[in-house]
Amino acid sequence: MTHALHPAPPLRPADLRLPHTERGLRIGLFGGSFNPPHEGHLLVAETALQRLRLDRVWWMVTPGNPLKDHGNLKPLAERVALSRRLVRDPRILVTALEAVHQIRYTADTVALLRRRKPDVRFVWLMGADSLAGFHRWQSWRTIARQVPLAVIDRPGATLSLLSSPAARALGRFRLAEADAPLLALSDPPAWVFLHGPRSPLSSTLLRERGTPTEPTDRAEAPS
């Protein structure tokens, strides 16, 4: 059975509040079930920080993904605690802010944050595997019109992902990878596909293996 090696502390009030921001900050929004979180997720967040020249990444642990089976979903507090044990960069902030607002869809998250933090430059982050099904997300076209998107390469057939319905529909708004640092300053729709180091890990694979979710030690973050 997949399990945490230490009991998860309860959620704190700070876990449910919007993190502090300042005018003009570039913030990547990285949402997911993180059931469990793993080094592949961390690689996405770290790659986005570096390649997009972000000031922060908000690692948003969702109460539950509407497109996924919740039968094996671990408690929110446990997934938040596991994410915190995994993250080492202080610029990556783990939050469960969607829970207090009872948000289930990314479109609602984006609308809330744009309304509450209009002076912040948000970018939605996703692994390339999510791009394949992006056209099935609730109001996905609205998301693309409201916030720039960064797609970070994950193991799989990259060419087939780039021919997915959403990638084709948004094709003319794609920035060259060399222009990735400009994404946060670009008016949506705008997106970029980032190639780079990839991790073979997935939450599904870890659950099937019954692998403990305590993160392994790493010598250093990727440069």
Answer yes or no: are the C-beta atoms of 131 and 164 closer than 8 Å. Answer: yes
Q: Which residue has the tokens 């003319």?
A: 172
Q: Is residue 39 packed enough to be buried (19+ CB in 10 Å), middle (13-18) or exposed (0-12)?
A: middle
Annotate 124-157 with DSSP letters as a single string: EEEEHHHHTTGGGSTTHHHHHHHS-EEEE--SS-
* Alpha-carbon gap, residue 151 to 129, rounded angstroms: 9
List the structure tokens of 36.
Answer: 């469990």
Q: What is the pLDDT of residue 156?
A: 59
- Averaged pLDDT, groups of 10, the chain, 223 residues long: 59 93 98 94 95 98 69 90 96 96 92 97 94 95 98 75 93 97 98 75 43 35 26
Q: What pTM was estimated for this model as a whole? A: 0.83
| Dihedral, 149, 153, 158, 162 alpha carbons, nearest 10 | 0
Instruction: Give the torsion sign (CA, 77, 215, 206, 165).
Output: positive
List the structure tokens of 162.
Answer: 């780039």
Q: What is the CATH number of domain 23-209?
A: 3.40.50.620
Answer yes or no: are the C-beta atoms of 93 and 104 closer than 8 Å. Answer: no
Q: What is the pLDDT of residue 104?
A: 84
| Domain spans, the chain | 23-209
Q: Which residue has the tokens 């060399």?
A: 178
Annotate the chain with DSSP letters as a single string: ----SSPPPPPPGGGGSPPP--TT-EEEEEEE--SS--HHHHHHHHHHHHHTT-SEEEEEE-S--TTS--TTPPPHHHHHHHHHHH---TTEEEE-HHHHTT--SHHHHHHHHHHH-TTSEEEEEEEHHHHTTGGGSTTHHHHHHHS-EEEE--SS-HHHHTTSHHHHHTGGGBPPGGGGGGGGGSPSS-EEEE--------HHHHHHHT---PPPP-S----
* Alpha-carbon gap, residue 188 to 198, rounded angstroms: 27
Q: What is the pLDDT of residue 129?
A: 85
